[in-house]
Structure formats: structure tokens, C-alpha cells
Amino acid sequence: MGSLTTSRVKRFWGEIRPPSDKSLTHRAYMLSAIASGGGVIETPLDSEDCGRTLECVAALGARVTATGSLVRIGGGGKLTSPRAALQCGNSGTTMRLLAGLICGAGLKAELRGDPSLNKRPMRRIVDPLRLMGADIEGDNAPLFVEPARLTGIDYRSPIASAQVKSAVLLAGLFAEGKTTVTEPAMSRDHTERMLAAAGCSVHRDGLRASVEPGMPSRVAMRVPADISSSAFFLVAGVLLGGPVTCLQVGVNPTRTGILDVLEKVGARIDLAPRGMEQGEPVADISIEAGELRPFTVEGEMVPRLIDELPILAVLATQCEGTTIVRGAAELRVKESDRIQTIFDGLTSMGANIESFDDGFAVHGSTPLKGAKINAQRDHRIGMAFAVAGLIADRTTTISGAETIDTSFPGFESELKRLADV
């Protein structure tokens, strides 16, 4: 998919089982690779990013067998230094979390990324890993790791980042003594939940998360659908009437900020619980349009929906009043500078938007017109403007949309399936 084209539709409704959760798939693969009893992962996300993680754990010596929608990973928890550089592609999760695991395991490795990943900051994990005694080099990718013995630390992270927290906690599984990470706000807690479910000694107290040394015993998980991928369809339902039902979605409280915002906007939301998977709550989410009220995102809310801000910016153009997003400077260092790409794209479609160093304000409601959008090879930007095209006059063409496959294979066909033209 080089470019993606969408046009105005009358309604958007139906059921979808969105792609499996990307964050959970990455972590299930990594924890299975170091678990004494390996892992069995059902319905993992079959995408480029998660495929990179699976290739990397295989290169580290884990035995990987994939049959249909089932992946088995074994190796008895014993990893080895790879013979060649680990290719992380576009996946920041792969690089940052694996760096922590590799440092902890005392391996020698080089981790490489694509041109986009090579621009993203790595010092945020390198610094705490060095405090633990790791021999790791690289302000940006590539990262170079040499064998070293680690000691647990009590680390106060300057940012709320699940990737930073997870890299340190994974390294802490191998370190001498307890490892603790304290964040300024709560980031997603998938790593802590999955480690606890796999038998590791994990302690959580507010914004503090700690691990004691020791490997997971076994991972067994049916990966639920990704709420970040679901967000594009939920918002389309709110904009175009619905109802839309997203099936078997992970509804971890650290990820459901999108639902809180949609409720504030005036959407009608229903959650039908579907149980737990490896410590993660699962539910079917149904949504219908209601009022379109403006909203504010700031402070502790930001980490709970950082990946959903591009599609929420599209929603804000149709809300009556001013929507404000602040405290989201992290958007500047995602796959693209998302504040800039949101501003450029929505401005070209006729929206009234201001940009700030740490966010944006959208003054609505304003009708959108079709435009040519450069997604900057950012999957979430591409999907957000595809949804924008569904409510815009004339045709919207999005270039640089090929990276949508990193998180949502089949996005275009599913978008068209639920669209009533």
C-alpha cells in the first residue's frame, strides 16, 4: 500500500474484530523467549513490527514454531548472542525492550532500525541501563551492547513511558537485587501484568513498579484485539452514526483513555466483559453517535491515549467548540512529528487548528474538504486521515501509508467493509 484513497460515506456501522494488540504481542514473544517453560501465544498480531520481534527472539536462540494463528516459543530461558545485527525495522518497542532484555542477559548484540526508527531517541533507555551497569552505546539506533553484570536500581524516570519502564524492568529480571521504576504519571502496565501472570515477583505501588530477579515460568495467552487499532473504527462510528462493535478488545485501564474521551464527547458506549488473558481484561466495545462536545486532554490522561491523539484530532474538527491537547510533547518523537503532521494535514483539509510545542487546539466544528496528505510513513497518521476522508467533500489521498501494515494489516479493506456509501 503506497497510497490510500477515501471519500465521503453516508454511514459507518457494523462489527469488527480488530487486529490483535501490538504491545501485548511484542511482550508475549519476549517473555516466552526467557520463560523456563516457553510460551504458547494464540492470535498474535501478524504485522511487520511484531514479526521483527519474533525474528529477533529467534536470532537470540529461542525456538520458534508458527502454525496458523498459533506461535510456540521455547528455549528454556537460555538466550545466546546473535550472529548478526538484530533488525528492528520500524519498531521502537522491539528495539527498546529487547535492549533491556539483552543487557540483562549479558549478551553481545547490535540492534538496527529503519531510517524512521534511527531518528527516534534511545538515550531514554540507555541512561538507566548504564546506571544498572550495562555496557550499551547509542543516542539513537544502532545500539551496541557488550556483556556486563547488572545491579538493580531505584530509577525515577523523567517521562511516563511504558517502553522505558519495560526496558528497565526486563533488565531487572537478571540483575542483582530489586529494580524499581517510578514514573511522573502512569504509563501502560502490560509488562507488569504479564510478568506477574507468568510467576515473576512484581510489586506495584501507585507510580512505582518493582521486580525481583527471576525468570518467568510460562506464558500462555490468547492475545486480545488492540484498543489503539479499534480507536479508528470507534471514532468513525461516532462521526458517522454507528453502531460499531469492536470484538474481544483489551481494556487495560492504562489504555482506555480513548473511551473516557468518547464518553465526554457524548458517544453512547457499552462494554461487555469477556474475561482475562495473562492478567489483561478483555471486552466487546459497542459505540453509537451522540452529541459532539469538545474535550481537553492533559496531565495524567496523556499516557493513557498517546497513540489515539491523531484520530482524536480528526474527531475534534467536528466538535462544537475548542478542543485542547497539552502535555503531549512525546508526539514530537513518534514515527513522525505527529503534532506537525496533524497540523499540516488538518489545515490542508480546512480545519481550524493551532499547534503548540506540546500539543494542539482545534476550533470546531468545521467542514472538511478532501486533500492530498503526506502521512510521513506514520501508520497512525495514515489511518487517522483515512477516517477524516470519510467525512470530507471530494477525495482524500494519503501517501506514505504503506506503514499501516506495521500495526493494522487489512485496514483499508475493513474500513471499506463498514462504510455505507
Tell me, what's the pLDDT at 1? 53
230: nearest Cα among 8, 2, 22, 27: 22
- The tens digit of pLDDT for each residue in 194-207 reads 999 999 999 999 99
Cβ atoms of 33 and 73 within 8 Å: the answer is yes
Per the residue annotation, which of 189, 226, 307, 378 is the catalytic one?
307
The arithmetic mean of pLDDT across residues 38-46, rounded, is 96
Question: How many residues does this entry show for the chain?
Answer: 421
Tell me, what's the pLDDT at 2? 64
C-alpha cell at 336: 513522525
- Burial classification of residue 275, based on how many CB atoms lie within 10 Å of its CB (0-12 exposed, 13-18 middle, 19 or more buried): exposed
Torsion angle, alpha carbons of 251, 254, 257, 260, to 10: 70
Nearest-angstrom CA–CA distance, 38 and 72: 8
Can 393 be counted among the known catalytic residues?
A: no
- The tens digit of pLDDT for each residue in 113-169 reads 999 899 999 999 999 999 999 999 999 999 999 999 999 999 999 999 999 999 999
Rg (CA), the chain: 21
Average per-residue pLDDT for the chain = 96
Tell me, what's the pLDDT at 407? 84
* pLDDT above 90 for 253: yes
Nearest-angstrom CA–CA distance, 99 and 291: 45
For the chain, list the domains and their CATH numbers. 3-20+224-420 (3.65.10.10), 22-210 (3.65.10.10)
Of 27-31, 148-152, 393-397, 400-404, the one with minimum mean pLDDT is 400-404
